[in-house]
Amino acid sequence: MKAFFLPLSLALCLTALPATAQNLSGIADVVDGDTLAIRGEQTRIRLYGVDAPEGKQTCSDAEGKRYLCGSRSADALAALIGRNGRVSCQEEDRDRYGRVVAVCYANGQDINGDLIRQGWAVEYSQYSDGRYSDEETEARQAKRGLWAGIFVKPWEWRRGERLPSELVGGTDRTTERSCAIKGNISGSNRIYHVPGSRHYGDTQINEASGERWFCSEDEAKAAGWRAPRG
């Protein structure tokens, strides 16, 4: 029997073929406004075509008041997923951090598009195919979510752009000035600490694990955090 050898060029092409796109499903935890973690999976999921405000990013509402729009976006994503927390995601790409970039569905709805339609995220036009441009136009015209006030596009905020209200004498005015309440997670407890309280100075916030900053106690309570006992 004659041995069969593939031509070198064909063999190289075959070995370079991309892996089959993944379908991931399960109970999801919200990491931030555009990132999910499915329990039992090692890879985090970045929502395709979506860019949400960063965790410490502040925006101005219709009355000119500043608020943590990153936290508001994460809360909106959690609401779209619902109480059972189950999602199914179809991989579209991988980003430079190794995360799966996917379109995700909950309760039969495309939550990527719904989040943009509600105005709590914008289309990440640099990395999308324009599929959510109609949803963004609808949100902008209806002045929903972020569009009700003034905000800096998330990718511009990451490059250092800030609202005028965030700048004092040309220096970045961090969220700690007006959004100084620390939302800590300890086991199953979500506890907020206000400046001057007993454990405030010792509390470190890890936004990657779902902890966050709040601008008021009412905002913290509405998001499910409580004051420390005793």
Give domain status of residue 8, yes or no: no
The pLDDT score that the predictor gives to residue 123 is 97
The predicted-structure confidence for 190-213, as pLDDT tens digits, reads as follows 999 987 788 887 788 887 778 888
Give domain status of residue 203, yes or no: yes
| Number of domains comprising the chain | 2
Query: Which range of residues forms the domain containing residue 40?
Result: 23-60+69-157
The pLDDT score that the predictor gives to residue 198 is 80
The predicted-structure confidence for 75-129, as pLDDT tens digits, reads as follows 999 999 998 899 999 999 998 888 899 999 999 999 999 999 999 999 998 888 9
End-to-end CA separation in angstroms for the chain: 83
| 102 and 193, same domain (yes or no) | no
| 109 and 204, same domain (yes or no) | no
| 153 and 184, same domain (yes or no) | no
Residue 138 has pLDDT above 60, yes or no: yes
Percent of the chain, pLDDT > 70? 84
Query: Which regions of the chain does DSSP assign to beta strands (E)?
Result: 23-32, 35-38, 44-47, 50-51, 58-60, 66-68, 86-94, 100-106, 109-110, 122-123, 167-168, 171-172, 181-186, 189-193, 212-214
88 strand-pairing partners: 25, 105
Domain CATH number, residue 111: 2.40.50.90
Reported pTM: 0.67
- Band of pLDDT at residue 153, cut at 50, 70 and 90: very high
Percent of the chain, pLDDT > 90? 50
Tell me how far apart the alpha carbons of residues 225 and 218 are, in angstroms, rounded to a whole number: 10
- Band of pLDDT at residue 172, cut at 50, 70 and 90: very low
CB 40 within 8 A of CB 26: yes
The pLDDT score that the predictor gives to residue 147 is 97
The predicted-structure confidence for 1-57, as pLDDT tens digits, reads as follows 444 344 444 343 333 334 566 789 999 999 999 999 999 988 889 999 999 999 889
Give domain status of residue 2, yes or no: no
| 80 and 141, same domain (yes or no) | yes
